[in-house]
Amino acid sequence: MQNPDSFSESKKDILDRARRVVIKVGSAVLADKSGLDLRVVNRLADQIALLRDQGRDVVLVSSGAMAAGRGVMHSRHVSETLRCKQAVSAVGQSRLMHAYDEAFARYRKITAQVLLTREDLKSRERFLNARNTMLQLLQWQIIPVVNENDTVAVQELKFGDNDALASLVLNLVEADLFINLTSADGVFDRNPREFPQACLLSEIEDIDGLAVERMCSGKTEQGTGGMYSKLISARRAAQIGVPTLILSGCNRFALEKAFAGENLGTLIRAGTRSIARRKFWLAYNLDPAGEIIMDGGAARAVRERGKSLLPAGITAVKGQFGKGDMVRLSGESGEELGVGLSNYASEDLLRIKGRGSDSIPEILGQALYTEAVHRDNMLLDAAL
């Protein structure tokens, strides 16, 4: 968790204090046009082994399976169809792990492969199982190497990226620092590809107040996320009190230099207040099944005064969902306010919307809840 004095801490102080670190490295760092760059893998292992020797737990979230697969498929035609991408990932994943196993073995470090899909984290039971496994590996001083299971995770392969996965792993292992290794030197105030005079930002104090959409455009050639997804993941990390360092993985030994005190990359500070990790899990591991639209008074009560959403403040209900499902919360003008668990099914909400809580028993025959969405099951300003 972030200290109240976090804004007075230097970048080096924050890195020194970190005991459990999630490091994400993208394919734009690990690979070139010919496939996986083993020199980069070896340098990365060198630096992570040093962090491990300093007594830090390290979880590595690594892309690169598809790049590694493409590197050995020269004589075969590989189209851009989904099944070809999944097959190439299957070819590359074992080679990626073999490269990490060999690289870390030079420093007498053991690695473990952890392949996750979103389904693994949506189930609370499977989430806890994954958490227990990861914590046991860290207790044994083993370095988990995490990747999306691209071979079977159709939705993730088409729409997801490892920036998003890494932000969920932060919550899974209760990390206190997130390092995102990318092909850029850090975060710029504007897209440097479009504006050559763009300035590198050494620190970002308020990620929530940052105009991410305006600052970012385009994606890296090898990767799927680009700077936009890295900042969205940093915003998620900040919500649970975890600072993010976005750092160039192409700068040789950038990790070692940053922990030694060199002012590299962009530090994104976390606020002094953080949400409960259960709320984080609810918001980012479950898909909204519908939408509840509230009037201006209810929106202000929810956002400014931390109130629960009552049926009287609901103006519309969209989609079909059951009791306990995740729903999107929106204002009348269409602005997204957050997400939450609905205490009522959509058909019941349609019957009681705009009505006072004391009228629920008469309409539904019973009133198990006075709130449509309780504040304890609600996350506002979710970085979805």
What tens digit of pLDDT does each residue of 203-254 get?
A: 999 888 777 776 776 444 433 458 888 999 999 999 999 999 999 999 989 9
Q: Averaged over 319-329, what is the pLDDT?
A: 93
pLDDT in tens, 214-225: 677 644 443 345
Hey, what domains does the chain have and what are their CATH numbers? Answer: 6-279 (3.40.1160.10), 287-380 (2.30.130.10)
140 Cβ neighbours under 8 A, 6+ residues apart: 110
Q: pLDDT averaged over the chain? A: 87
Output the pLDDT for position 156: 41
Output the pLDDT for position 223: 38
Output the pLDDT for position 54: 96
Judge whether residue 377 has pLDDT over 70. yes
pLDDT in tens, 25-81: 999 999 988 889 999 999 999 999 999 999 999 999 999 888 888 888 875 667 777
Q: 382 pLDDT band (50/70/90 cuts)? A: low
**Among the listed residues 71, 47, 80, 60, the one whose alpha carbon sits nearest the alpha carbon of residue 20:** 60
- Between these two residues, 80 and 257, which has the higher pLDDT value? 257
Q: 290 pLDDT band (50/70/90 cuts)? A: very high
Output the pLDDT for position 219: 43
How many Cα atoms occupy the beta-carbon half-sphere of 14 within 13 Å?
30
Distance CA 11, CA 100 (A): 29
To 5 degrees, how large is the angle CA 204–CA 207–CA 210?
95
Q: Which pTM does this prediction carry?
A: 0.84
Output the pLDDT for position 158: 41
Q: 180 pLDDT band (50/70/90 cuts)? A: very high
- Give the DSSP per-residue string, 63-125: --HHHHHHTT-TTS---SSHHHHHHHHHHHHHHHHHHHHHHHHTTT--EEEEEE-HHHHHSHH
